[in-house]
């Protein structure tokens, strides 16, 4: 229905993303890096664990990515993978055997050299227990062999294109084989990795202190002597800490503060493109959401620009696809439904409930944007004759209800931990018993064509073909509207102008070995 407007949205998003990424990198150009100093970060919460195979919260993950390394890492623009602990790999013609060549001068934070045995041990830990949160990411791996100290051979059960991206996941971060002779519990009290920083102390509930790794394999880095992560849940407090100089980085200031922070002397405010997409999810097992016209009608009735203005204060983009523009595989032409009240009424007229109906929207408490969004949705669906009752519950109950299919409509979102679309698509678009069995983000959407394309994309190694398959998935999902795509939002960071080289990747993490403090 008119390609031009939608292409514009996608292109704007891409251009914005590029501009922001460039803008962020310009910080690196400010003279030669100075050494020393401790970077103090104020973040919204504390870390929960230092074990890479057990972490699910962002704070733990983004901290761990500076302590442990993986074989490959995402590039700063989030579109490709770069060799890191590995220098390269070869793939067998049948696509089942990956042979990685490891970097030779890598040493752990206690000086011990890293070998393939350590990598094998670390990767095998990830799926060792069924209860491990990221066990699914290594599901395709059949076996790992170490024919030499710097050679690692991974054999997969079936041809698996996302393997390189999977191996780059933080959970596959390398620790010493057999915990370096300690027990697991002992090891994680003072864990070591090969990354630029090592753990000095962790005061639970308040702060984590890291110090520079003297044996770090990238010579000359890290520039900083240490990093301290403070847990400061209150938005106002983080801002005041930045203003007073108590901290140099403020993680996630609320979007309402962005323009103010832009004008604060000595402070730089950057919006980094993220992989986050927010949705309004429909439960197709509850009437009348199995009716595609109802879903499309509701989606047409949502004024995304107004939501971006009210919730993100303009710092975001209406979404047109299930994948964010910051990721490889994003289709700028994906026909995600945008605001059009006339079309909304037309769709509803064709549906099973042309005069409207009543429904309940669960919103999570605490996260005030959901309550806000919920009230906007409530007001915007009224003209269609759809009466929305808001039911506010605590986030845990909300999540449980969503997972157990006990909801009509609810807010949900997706991000990705790897730069391959596979993780996101397998959780959010694949239904039935395919994918991760999460029934397309718990909407109970199930389109066998979509499942088929997604599975094919997992097994195909031709990049162009994969891109084509993911395009088809996105177009179909946009048409079927199991989710109303709401908006893409960036990662907001405010930091002192003294902080140089700070860059946040679309997966949310940051490479602190590139950061230095100017005087």
Interacting positions 292-321 with another protein (CB under 8 A): 303, 306, 309-310
Q: Which is nearer to another protein, 153 or 361 (CB)?
A: 361
Q: 465 vs 410, 471, 472, CA distance in Å?
A: 34, 10, 11
What residues numbered 194-253 form the site for another protein, per CB under 8 A? 201, 203-207, 209, 230-237, 239-241, 243-244, 246
Instruction: Say whether residue 25 binds another protein (CB under 8 A).
Output: no
Compute the least distance from the CB of residue 139 to another protein, in Å: 10
Which two tokens mark 473? Answer: 């998935």
Site string for another protein, 446-485 (x = CB under 8 A): ----------------------------------------
Compute the least distance from the CB of residue 285 to another protein, in Å: 16
Task: Please report which helix (H) or strand (E) contains residue 189, including its range.
Answer: helix 184-189
User: Reduced to 3 states, what is the DSSP secondary structure of residue 153?
Assistant: strand
Among 7, 379, 462, 465, binds another protein (CB under 8 A): 379
Sign, CA dihedral 17-340-331-308, equals positive
Task: State residue 90 phi and psi, 5-degree precision.
Answer: -125, 150
Q: Which is nearer to another protein, 116 or 303 (CB)?
A: 303
The DSSP 8-state label assigned to residue 90 in this structure reads E
Distance of CA 123 to the CA centre of its chain: 21
Q: 475 vs 3, 248, 464, 468, 481, CA distance in Å?
A: 12, 43, 17, 11, 10
Compute the least distance from the CB of residue 286 to another protein, in Å: 18
What residues numbered 117-176 form the site for another protein, per CB under 8 A? 129-136
What residues numbered 28-47 form the site for another protein, per CB under 8 A? 42, 46
Stretch that binds another protein, among 10-18, 51-59, 74-82, 473-481 (CB under 8 A): 51-59
What residues numbered 339-368 form the site for another protein, per CB under 8 A? 363-368
Compute the least distance from the CB of residue 391 to another protein, in Å: 7
Rounded to whole angstroms, the Cα distance separating 28 from 477 reads: 40
Rounded to whole angstroms, the Cα distance separating 283 from 425 reads: 18
List the one residue out of 331, 333, 304, 299 whose CA is nearest residue 319: 304
Among 414, 471, 503, 514, binds another protein (CB under 8 A): 414
Q: Which is nearer to another protein, 7 or 129 (CB)?
A: 129
List the one residue out of 394, 397, 360, 354 whose CA is nearest residue 377: 360
Number of residues binding to another protein, judged by CB under 8 A: 78
Task: Please report which helix (H) or strand (E) contains residue 126, including its range.
Answer: helix 116-126
Task: State residue 294 phi and psi, 5-degree precision.
Answer: -65, -45
Q: Which is nearer to another protein, 380 or 471 (CB)?
A: 380
Stretch that binds another protein, among 48-56, 66-74, 153-161, 267-275 (CB under 8 A): 48-56
Which two tokens mark 399? Answer: 């999540």
């Amino acid at each position: 229905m008119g390609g031009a407007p939608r292409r514009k949205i996608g292109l704007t998003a891409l251009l914005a993303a590029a501009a922001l990424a460039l803008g962020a990198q310009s910080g690196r150009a400010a003279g030669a890096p100075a050494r020393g100093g401790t970077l103090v970060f104020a973040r919204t919460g504390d870390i929960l664990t230092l074990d890479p195979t057990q972490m699910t919260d962002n704070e733990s993950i983004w901290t761990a990515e500076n302590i442990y390394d993986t074989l490959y890492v995402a590039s700063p623009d989030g579109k490709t993978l770069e060799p890191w602990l590995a220098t390269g790999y070869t793939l067998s013609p049948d696509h089942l055997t990956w042979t990685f060549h490891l970097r030779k001068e890598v040493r752990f934070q206690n000086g011990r050299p890293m070998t393939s045995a350590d990598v094998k041990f670390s990767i095998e830990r990830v799926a060792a227990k069924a209860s491990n949160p990221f066990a699914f990411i290594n599901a395709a791996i059949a076996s790992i062999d170490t024919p030499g100290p710097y050679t690692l051979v991974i054999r997969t059960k079936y041809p698996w294109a996302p393997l390189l991206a999977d191996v780059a996941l933080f959970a596959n971060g390398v620790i010493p084989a057999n915990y370096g002779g300690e027990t697991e519990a002992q090891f994680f009290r003072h864990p070591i990795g090969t990354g630029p920083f090592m753990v000095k102390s962790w005061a639970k509930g308040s702060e984590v202190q890291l110090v520079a790794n003297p044996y770090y394999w990238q010579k000359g880095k890290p520039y900083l002597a240490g990093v301290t992560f403070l847990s400061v849940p209150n938005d106002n407090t983080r801002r005041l800490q930045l203003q007073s100089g108590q901290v140099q980085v403020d993680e996630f200031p609320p979007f309402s503060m962005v323009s103010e922070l832009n004008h604060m002397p000595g402070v730089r405010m950057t919006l980094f493109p993220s992989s986050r997409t927010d949705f309004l999810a429909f439960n197709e097992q509850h009437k009348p959401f199995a009716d595609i016209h109802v879903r499309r009608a509701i989606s047409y009735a949502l004024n995304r620009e107004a939501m971006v203005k009210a919730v993100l204060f303009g710092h975001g983009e209406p979404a047109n696809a299930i994948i964010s523009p910051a990721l490889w595989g994003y289709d700028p032409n994906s026909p995600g439904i945008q605001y059009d009240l006339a079309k909304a009424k037309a769709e509803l007229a064709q549906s099973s409930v042309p005069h409207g109906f009543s429904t309940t929207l669960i919103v999570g408490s605490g996260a005030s944007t959901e309550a806000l969004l919920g009230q906007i949705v409530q007001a915007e669906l009224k003209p269609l004759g759809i009466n929305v009752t808001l039911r506010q519950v605590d986030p845990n109950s909300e999540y449980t209800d969503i997972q157990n299919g006990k909801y009509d409509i609810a807010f949900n979102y997706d991000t990705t931990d790897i730069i391959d679309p596979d993780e996101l698509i397998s959780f959010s678009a694949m239904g039935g018993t395919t994918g991760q069995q999460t029934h397309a983000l718990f909407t109970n959407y199930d389109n066998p064509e979509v499942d088929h394309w997604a599975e094919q994309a997992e097994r195909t190694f031709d990049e162009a073909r994969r891109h084509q398959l993911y395009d088809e998935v996105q177009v179909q999902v946009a048409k079927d509207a199991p989710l109303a795509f709401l908006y893409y939002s960036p990662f907001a960071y405010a930091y002192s102008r003294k902080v140089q080289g700070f860059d946040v990747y679309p997966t949310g993490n940051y490479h602190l070995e590139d950061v230095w403090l100017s005087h």
